[in-house]
């Protein structure tokens, strides 16, 4: 009877999907793809299930023309004195001469630059918020080496004052990951950097989840007393997890195909891993050393999943040809290294060498301060590449913090470049974004200007900051 009831509700839901598909845009914005299974079926392990759906809606916006500005489009050469038109949250025109529609806000960008909104593939914003307190220490479920069942979004504190600071650095999209204590740390989430009461109100509509995996020293250090305590046990741990996940996936996919009998028991951890195996969740693998990255690639092939991005990868330059061949991006620091054995071989040309080998290079932060200055981090990586004789344009370096991270998060069809039809996540920089003296001046998210350095009184202040942190305008 229980199963019957479910079947009936599934039928209702399937018809609902057809209507949802057409109603699936709000203010010109795509929202989440409708879940295949509807609400109320928590006992069913559904592909692309979305039990915590995004409630993000773009903020009010006005048609805006930024003219006479240098545009780093992210696709090809920069446009020297171009214009970008934003309407209804989208980019509707880009070029040398764009007429301003009636009533549009016109911004003169003389001496300034425009890029797509900065995207950081590696943050712990909200899960390790500021101020750092034990009560908010929510980023690492360091109680077992495999915690595929946890979701970072359930730890995100939307009032983390690090969010508005990231926005002021031009960052419009972040991936929030679980920490690296575990072999498999859980699901990541992709967030818009916007004020919201809830994490659901920040979730990037339709973005796939990520899975955080970690190589090397951290898991074996954290679990030294109970295992894994060695790299070989790390690898055994991943493989055991994937063996169980593959069994789970087959059992569920068979039931989903034929609906014979009761559904199999649901398991949150295996459900996430099964979604990786189905290609519905992207793998983000914290891994420093080249030798370990090569092993992780073999594990991915053994179980039939793709690694979307190696994170930190201080030795990515040693394996850059392989990363290019395998289509794996590198989410990397500009100049971190030396702070532990597996970081010993960090070099400043890492990002540039990975780029030169034809792999997708990304400058990431893993740090709430560095995240605010990914443009400067890219500039350091660019300078290091040029210092060893690599020919890399400013335009290519801008892609390291815009288009390439968009690809790593699977949202490259929506954000990451200045192209007609893309979401209007845009930064107006006070100068060349690769200069240390340049600051993000205005930042638009889906066409809405959410940061204006010239208007401190309008600055987003989190609940936490009220009464604790002096406001930027007036009294400050």
Considering the rule CB under 8 A, would residue 369 count as an interface residue with other proteins? yes
Considering the rule CB under 8 A, would residue 353 count as an interface residue with other proteins? yes
Considering the rule CB under 8 A, would residue 456 count as an interface residue with other proteins? no
Q: Name which position in 106, 232, 341, 420 contacts other proteins (CB under 8 A).
A: 341
Q: Segment contacting other proteins (CB under 8 A): 160-168, 174-182, 193-201, 410-418? A: 160-168
Please work out the total of residues on this chain that contact other proteins, with binding judged by CB under 8 A: 55
Distance CA 282, CA 99 (A): 41
Considering the rule CB under 8 A, would residue 468 count as an interface residue with other proteins? yes
| Min CB(94)–other proteins separation in Å | 27
Considering the rule CB under 8 A, would residue 103 count as an interface residue with other proteins? no
Considering the rule CB under 8 A, would residue 434 count as an interface residue with other proteins? yes
Considering the rule CB under 8 A, would residue 131 count as an interface residue with other proteins? yes
Considering the rule CB under 8 A, would residue 130 count as an interface residue with other proteins? yes
Distance CA 173, CA 167 (A): 9
Contact mark string toward other proteins, 261..300, x via CB under 8 A? ----------------------------------------
Considering the rule CB under 8 A, would residue 162 count as an interface residue with other proteins? yes
Q: Name which position in 84, 276, 287, 379 contacts other proteins (CB under 8 A).
A: 379
Considering the rule CB under 8 A, would residue 340 count as an interface residue with other proteins? yes
Question: Whose Cβ is closer to other proteins: residue 105's or residue 344's?
Answer: 344
| Min CB(110)–other proteins separation in Å | 19
Question: Whose Cβ is closer to other proteins: residue 164's or residue 185's?
Answer: 164
Considering the rule CB under 8 A, would residue 317 count as an interface residue with other proteins? yes
| Residues at the site binding other proteins, with contacts judged by CB under 8 A | 130-132, 161-162, 165, 317-321, 333, 335-341, 343-349, 353, 357, 365, 367-370, 372-373, 376, 379-380, 382-383, 386-388, 434-439, 464-465, 468-470, 476
């Amino acid at each position: 009877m229980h199963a019957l009831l479910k079947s009936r509700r599934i039928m209702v839901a399937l018809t609902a999907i057809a209507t949802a598909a057409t109603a699936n845009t709000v203010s010109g914005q795509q929202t989440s793809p409708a879940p295949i299974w509807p609400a109320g079926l928590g006992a069913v392990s559904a592909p692309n299930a979305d039990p915590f759906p995004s409630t993000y809606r773009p903020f009010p916006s006005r048609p805006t023309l930024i003219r006479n500005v240098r545009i780093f489009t992210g696709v090809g050469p920069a446009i020297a004195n171009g214009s970008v038109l934003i309407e209804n949250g989208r980019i509707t025109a880009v070029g040398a001469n764009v007429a301003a529609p009636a009533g549009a806000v016109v911004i003169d960008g003389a001496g300034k630059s425009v890029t797509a909104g900065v995207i950081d593939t590696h943050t712990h914003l909200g899960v390790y918020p500021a101020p750092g307190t034990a009560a908010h220490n929510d980023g690492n479920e360091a109680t077992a080496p495999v915690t595929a069942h946890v979701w970072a979004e359930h730890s995100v504190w939307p009032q983390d004052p690090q969010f508005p600071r990231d926005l002021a650095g031009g960052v419009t999209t972040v991936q929030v990951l679980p920490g690296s204590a575990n072999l498999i740390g859980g699901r990541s989430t992709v967030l818009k950097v916007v004020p919201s009461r809830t994490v659901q109100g920040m979730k990037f509509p339709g973005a796939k989840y990520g899975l955080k995996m970690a190589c090397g020293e951290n898991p074996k250090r954290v679990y030294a007393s109970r295992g894994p305590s060695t790299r070989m046990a790390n690898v055994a741990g991943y493989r055991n997890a994937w063996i169980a996940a593959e069994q789970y996936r087959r059992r569920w996919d068979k039931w989903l195909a034929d609906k014979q009998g009761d559904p199999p028991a649901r398991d949150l951890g295996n459900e996430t891993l099964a979604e990786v195996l189905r290609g519905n969740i992207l793998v983000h693998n914290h891994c420093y050393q080249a030798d370990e990255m090569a092993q992780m690639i073999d594990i991915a092939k053994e179980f039939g999943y793709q690694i979307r991005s190696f994170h930190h990868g201080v030795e990515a330059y040693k394996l850059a040809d392989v990363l290019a061949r395998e289509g794996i991006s590198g989410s990397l620091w500009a100049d971190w290294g030396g702070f532990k054995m597996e970081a010993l071989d960090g070099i400043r040309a890492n990002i540039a060498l990975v780029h030169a080998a034809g792999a997708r290079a990304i400058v990431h932060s893993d740090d709430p301060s560095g995240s605010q200055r990914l443009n400067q981090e890219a500039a350091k990586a660019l300078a290091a590449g040029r210092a060893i004789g690599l020919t890399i344009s400013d335009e290519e370096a801008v892609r390291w913090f815009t288009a390439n991270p968009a690809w790593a998060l699977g949202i490259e069809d929506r954000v990451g470049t200045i192209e007609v039809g893309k979401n209007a996540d845009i930064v107006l920089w006070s100068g060349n974004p690769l200069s240390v003296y340049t600051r993000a001046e205005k930042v638009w998210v889906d066409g809405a200007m959410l940061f204006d350095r010239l208007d401190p009184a309008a600055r987003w202040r989190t609940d936490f900051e009220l009464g604790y942190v002096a406001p930027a305008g007036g009294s400050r």
